[in-house]
């Protein structure tokens, strides 16, 4: 079995050029000249000048192309990729609309919420102004009621007609008191409460005025009640100068009832302090009447003339109408001064209440 012959290594310089010479072929055009390694720098040899290389720049470029290995990326051009993904911004108009509404709400809140505080303060100020104005305009009527109540010649009918004006005065005073006692409105959270805070001193100022009006009304009302009640106490029943046994018995019952009713009325009275002395005179007159009726009935039974007794008790009770006059004058003077002071205070309050 023949053994395959291993190729022998070529001797240095044995690159087959001899064979090409035998065939008459120039080995220089076929066998490439060995190149140095890439890491060795080789200066290219410039070719002879030609008519095509007219400038130095072209000669340098031609020499560079002949002495440098071709760059495989020299002519590379990236392929144009088709636009597969396009950018398209889709605006959601509902979101934009919602944002616009939210912005409008915020701006509106900034502009509108502070007006809420001012509106609430204005509403309360209007309530103060109306209550003060109405009470102030009713004070002349209160003066008229006071004049009638303190008139010694006023009749029971005239005194009874004062109930209406005095009720109106009480109602207006109560309305002012209720408005003043009501808590001040509150400002929404995080908002300044300046306009509402301005009402605090006004509220403190109006509180006593409502109380003063109530005091005036109550004093006049108590006086009217006292005089109406007094008229029933001092109005003596008929006192005949003669009577039979049956009439005397009826008269005894009538006089006893008159005395009992008088005492009951006096005990229920809570008069003005100015009338305290006069009320004492009324009690003394009733005590005198208790003793007087016994003498009077006895005179009728005996057939005696009771005229002197009748004049005595009549004078005693008529004097009660006269002894009350100084008290009426004092009440008129004091109360009228209170009304004038209240009117001035209400006028001053109207000036400071904000519009």
Picking from 58-62, 163-167, 186-190, 308-312, which range would have the lowest pLDDT averaged per residue?
Answer: 58-62
Does pTM top 0.75 for this prediction? no
Domain ranges of the chain: 104-352
What is the C-alpha separation between 319 and 236, in angstroms, rounded? 13
pLDDT tens profile 8-59: 444 455 555 655 566 565 555 555 555 555 544 454 544 554 444 455 556 5
Q: By CB neighbour count within 10 A (0-12 exposed, 13-18 middle, 19+ buried), where does 94 fall?
A: exposed
- Are 195 and 121 in contact by the 8 Å Cβ rule? The answer is yes
Cβ atoms < 10 Å from Cβ of 226: 23
Write down the H helix ranges in 235-275. Answer: 245-268
Q: Which two tokens stand for residue 194?
A: 């300046």
The share of the chain scoring above pLDDT 90, in percent, equals: 57
pLDDT tens profile 234-262: 999 999 999 999 999 999 999 999 999 99
């Amino acid at each position: 079995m023949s053994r395959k012959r291993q190729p022998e290594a070529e001797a240095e310089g044995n690159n087959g050029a001899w064979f090409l010479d035998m065939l008459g072929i120039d080995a220089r055009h076929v066998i490439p000249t060995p190149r140095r390694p890439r890491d060795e720098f080789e200066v290219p040899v410039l070719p002879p000048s030609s008519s095509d290389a007219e400038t130095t720049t072209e000669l340098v470029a031609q020499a560079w192309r002949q002495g440098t290995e071709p760059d495989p990326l020299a002519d590379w051009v990236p392929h144009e990729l088709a636009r597969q993904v396009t950018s398209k911004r889709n605006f959601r108009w509902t979101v934009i609309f919602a944002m616009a509404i939210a912005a409008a709400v915020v701006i509106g809140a900034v502009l509108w919420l502070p007006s809420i505080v001012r509106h609430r303060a204005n509403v309360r100020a209007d309530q103060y102004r109306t209550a003060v104005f109405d009470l102030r305009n009713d004070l002349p009527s209160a003066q008229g009621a006071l004049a009638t109540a303190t008139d010694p010649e006023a009749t029971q009918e005239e005194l009874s007609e004062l109930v209406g004006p005095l009720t109106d005065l009480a109602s207006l005073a109560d309305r002012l008191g209720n408005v003043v006692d009501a808590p001040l409105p509150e400002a929404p959270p995080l908002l300044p409460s300046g306009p509402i805070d301005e009402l605090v001193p006004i509220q403190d100022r109006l509180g006593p005025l409502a109380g003063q009006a109530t005091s005036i009304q109550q004093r006049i009302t108590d006086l009217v009640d006292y005089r109406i009640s007094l008229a029933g106490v001092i109005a003596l029943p008929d006192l005949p100068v003669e009577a039979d046994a049956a009439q005397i018995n009826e008269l005894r019952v009538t006089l006893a009832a008159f005395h009992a009713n008088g005492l009951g009325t006096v005990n229920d009275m809570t008069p003005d302090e100015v009338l305290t002395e006069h009320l004492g005179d009324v009690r003394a007159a009733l005590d005198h009447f208790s003793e007087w009726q016994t003498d009077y009935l006895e005179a009728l039974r005996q057939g005696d003339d009771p005229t002197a007794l009748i004049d005595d008790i009549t004078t005693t009770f008529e004097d009660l109408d006269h002894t009350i006059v100084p008290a009426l004058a004092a009440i008129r003077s004091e109360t009228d001064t209170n009304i004038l002071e209240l009117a001035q205070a209400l006028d001053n309050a109207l000036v400071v209440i904000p519009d």
